[in-house]
Amino acid sequence: MSSKLTTKINNIILKNPITIASGPFVNGEYLDTIHDLDILGAITTKTVTYKPRKGNPSPRVAEIKDGYINSVGLRNAGIKRFIEMKLPFVEEMNVPTFVSIAGESMEEYIEMVEMLNPIEFITAIELNISCPNVHNKSIMFESDAEGIKILLTKIKEVSKKPILVKISNNNADILKTARICKEVGVDAIVLLNSPAGMRLDLHTGQSVLTRQYGGMSGKPLKHIALKIVNEISHEVDIPIIGVGGIFNNDDAIEMLLAGACAVGIGSAIMYDPLAAYKMAINFEKDLKRYNFESVEQLVESVRKTRNWNNK
């Protein structure tokens, strides 16, 4: 793959800006049977918690126009089983790997980071502090600005890996959260975790999900994510991985123009398991259609329009 597609997330160098976001990857067993994942810039594992979680009762996923609304509730087998049973498979893929974690307490976050520290092939750790689909609000640290600052400071002290923080616009001042991430030395932020939404059954007037609300994903999310990525990139000098409604390379390039340095593909994979693969192999050609010779040229041209010194 051409070096013209290389991008940087702080000190992390990716061969291209196309990554798989946390969620659809399901730790790779299915996608790897369809195509080689090592062509991608990076993959992000499905979020894992310290203890096993059964998740929310069914129904927990429903289609909306051009997307999904889900309330899975971080269903997973827990980090110990994840390390024993899932990570060896992920390692075989030979692609930069971001492991997504969510804790119910600061102690759980720190213990998970310490458990992941010795695993050499893990590129970075993503902190999912903003999942909209859990009943236990202690998992959603972003609603407490002081709490997140303490949490991130502690994690930066113990982590031997770069730290990414996934945040949303559901419960907090997202700009304040981004500024805290910059202040404590987080390596990048991931925007945007699923905004909360709802779909009703027209016959019953009740939510189609067992839980009333769920996280929205798919094409409707793109323009919300673009706005927030653009706003944050003007205010805070921190690398951004743009996530939300990216279905093709035009969407990806638009997200880079908004201020991201890489993108995460989610719902598109649910419609076409080859979506991220197709985007990666065609990205250089599609980039040239907009008169950019490299990803670096595009990203740097956007950075030159920012004026962080006056913030």
Please enumerate, by residue number, every residue annotated as part of a binding site for FMN: 22, 46-47, 128, 166, 218, 244-245, 266-267
Cis peptide leading into 59, omega within 30 of 0? yes
Q: Which pair of structure tokens corresponds to residue 15? A: 């061969």
Distance between CA 262 and CA 152 in Å, rounded?
Answer: 22
β pairing state of 42-44 and 188-191: unpaired
Instruction: Identify the helix (H) or strand (E) that includes residue 183.
Output: helix 174-184
From the list 131, 184, 191, 241, the catalytic residue is: 131
Specify binding-site residues for substrate. Answer: 46, 70-74, 128, 193-194
Among residues 70, 98, 72, the alpha carbon closest in space to that of 221 is found at 70
Among residues 148, 99, 149, 102, the alpha carbon closest in space to that of 124 is found at 99
Q: Which pair of structure tokens corresponds to residue 260? A: 């991201």
For the sheet with 67-70, list strands across it. 61-64, 67-70, 214-218, 196-197
CA-CA-CA-CA dihedral for 270, 97, 252, 48, to nearest 10 = 50
Concerning whether 181 is annotated as a catalytic residue, the answer is no
Specify binding-site residues. Answer: 22, 46-47, 70-74, 128, 166, 193-194, 218, 244-245, 266-267
SS3 of residue 184 by DSSP: helix
β pairing state of 7-9 and 42-44: unpaired
Catalytic residues: 131
